[in-house]
Structure 1
C-alpha cells in the first residue's frame, strides 16, 4: 500500500464530521479523495456566496443574463447548473432544457423557441443545451438536414451579436470529457436506479458516434471563433474541479459589484 504523507491541515480536515463522512462514505476508503472533497465543499460554499451577490446585483440593476452549457452527453452540465443555482433565489432564475420541438416549432425560425425563453429584467437563464443542438447533436443523429445545419452555422454569429447588442449578457461554456470517462459515466447511470431515466437513445449511440461528434464540434468552434462571444472550454473529467471552474468563469464574466451587501 502506498504511504500517504498528511499535513497538519489534512489531519484537522479528517478529524471533522465532514472529513469523516467523506472518508467513510465510500469503499475502498481513499484519504486523498476525502480531503479533496472537503476542500471542494469549502470552495463551493464561498463561490455560492458570490453567486448570490451577483444575483442581487443583477436584480437591482435589471440585468438580463444567459448562461449557456454545451458538451457531450454525461459531461456534467446538469450537475454544474445545480451547484450554481442551489443557493440562489429561484424567483429570479430559470433552468431551460427544452424537449424535442413540436410540429409548430419545426415550422418556425429555428432560433424562435429559444428566444421565447430569454430573460426578463433582473433574471438569469441557464440553458442546459441550447440552440447549439443544431451545430452538433442534430446533424450527428440525422435530426436536421445538411441545409438546415449550414443555415444555422451561417446565422449563429449574427444571432449572438444581436443578443449582446440588445443588452443581454451571454456566457457560453463547453464541458469537455474523454471518451473513456463518458463510457464510465454511462455505466454508472445504467446501474443506478435513480439515474437510469437520464439515459436516452441518443446517449446510447454517443460512444459509437464519438468521432462524428468530434468533427461537428470542431466545425462549431471554427465558425464561432469569429463571433461576438467566445467559448470557455471546461475540462470536466473530474466533476468537482469542473464545477468550481464553471462558477469561477461565470463570476469573472459578469461585472457585478463584489462589495454589494447581501
Structure 2
C-alpha cells in the first residue's frame, strides 16, 4: 500500500495558496489547509474532497500571532497527521514609502513572512530528515533578487525566504528531503489587491495566473529544484538582477513599483 502523503498549506484560503492546494490534491496528497478565514477554507476543502476523494483537514490559525505556528503544529499532531510536506505560502506585502507605513503592519509582515515561516520549517524539518522523505516549499518572490523601493520591507522579507530556502536545500538534500523556493513575479490574486500592486507598472506588464504559478511550483518541488522561477519574463528578470549593478536594479524596481 502506498504511503499516505499529507501536505500542510498555509495561507490556503485564496490566491497562490488555494491553487497550490488544488495542485497537490490533484496529485494524490491529503491536505491540511490553514488560514484565518474558516469559511473559505471549508469551501475549498469540500471542493477538493469531492474532486479528488482525499482527506482534507481545516485548521484556522493566525500565523502572525507569536503563538500561532506552535498552536497550528500541535493541532495537526493532535489529529494524527504525519506531515510529508510543508508549504509556507502565508504572507503579505505593503506598497508605498516605508516611512509612511503603519508600524504595526510592518512588524506584522515580519512576523508572518519571516518568523512564522522559520518556526514552522524548524518544527517540521527534523521529522522529515529522520524519515528520509518529504520536503518544504517556501513561497518567496522575484522581489528577493533586488532591493525594492516603495515595497522595501516586503522585498527584504522575500530575500530572507530565498536565502534560507537555498541554504536548507543544501542541508536537507543529503537526507532525501527537498527544500524549494518558489519565486513568482506579479500574480493575479487577493495578495496583489491587498498590497495595492495592481496599478503598478510591474503588475500591468507581467502578471501571471495563480494556477500557472502553482503548477510550476509543484513541478519544480517534485523535481527537487532549489529555486523555481515561473514564467520566462520572471526568469529573465531575476537573472538580470544577478548581473546588473545593484544601484541600477534598485532604481528600476522603485520605478516599476511607482
Task: Give the shorter-chain TM-score range.
Answer: 0.3 to 0.5
**TM-score, length-normalised on structure 2?**
0.38
The structure whose RCO (Cα within 8 Å, separation 6+) is larger is: 1
